[in-house]
Amino acid sequence: MMSEGLGLDLSDPNLKDTPDRIARAYCREFFSGLIESKIPKITTFPNEDNYNEIIMLDNIAFVSMCSHHFLPFQGLAWFLYIPRKKLIGASKINRIIQYFAARPQLQEKLCQEVMEFFIKKVEPLGAMLVMRAVHGCMSCRGIRQSLNSGMTTSAVYGSFKENVTTRNEALSLIELSKR
């Protein structure tokens, strides 16, 4: 692609090792979520005090790669859950999001994969994930929208889906965290 497609001279000292650097970045970093051995270890704890209110992890930065254009999309995520019998270590939501983001991905699918993985491991009463990202395929090519033009997706489960009051409380907490 670099030499034949773009006509670049790979003997140029600035380009000499670029194909290898690109391959390593895609395999070891951008798409490390395709490596099954990298699935994050999820530490849970018994909910001995029967805590049954909303727990929110907020402003979780993520970067993924659009599977349509192989350009990055990046943004913030808000994850809320109401525990049943298990609590999860605070850093684990971030690790789950980072793992699934590290693959060619659609934001909609990323939201679903994170939620499904969490539900399977933690079995909460309810969970909600909201993700907002700016997409490189919209900001640096095509429509060339500003860096503030983005996409918001959500995945909702259990009490957040079934109870409007619970969902509204969650949305209020997200608004509060954005201030």
Rounded Cα distance, 43 and 122, in Å: 10
- CATH number of the domain residue 148 falls in: 3.30.1130.10
What does the pLDDT read at residue 87?
97
pLDDT score, position 1: 79
- The mean-pLDDT minimum among 73-82, 128-137, 140-149 falls in 140-149
pLDDT band at 123 (very low <50, low <70, confident <90, very high): very high
| Number of domains into which the chain is organized | 2
Are 21 and 73 in the same domain? Answer: no
Digit-coded pLDDT (tens) for 53-104 = 999 999 999 999 999 988 899 999 999 999 999 999 999 999 999 999 999 9
Computed over every residue of the chain, the mean pLDDT equals 91
Torsion angle (degrees, nearest 10) of CA 63, 179, 122, 155: -70
Please tell me the pTM assigned to this model: 0.89
Name the nearest CA neighbour of 93 among 67, 70, 66, 122.
122
In which order are the strands placed within the sheet that holds 55-66? 104-105, 55-66, 72-82, 126-135, 151-158
Quote the domain boundaries for residue 118: 41-178
For residue 2, tell me if it sits in a domain: no
| 1 in a structural domain | no
153 in the same domain as 111: yes
Query: Are 63 and 104 contacting, i.e. CB atoms less than 8 angstroms apart?
Result: no
Distance of alpha carbon 174 from alpha carbon 54, whole angstroms: 12
How confident is the model over 5-20, as a mean pLDDT? 86
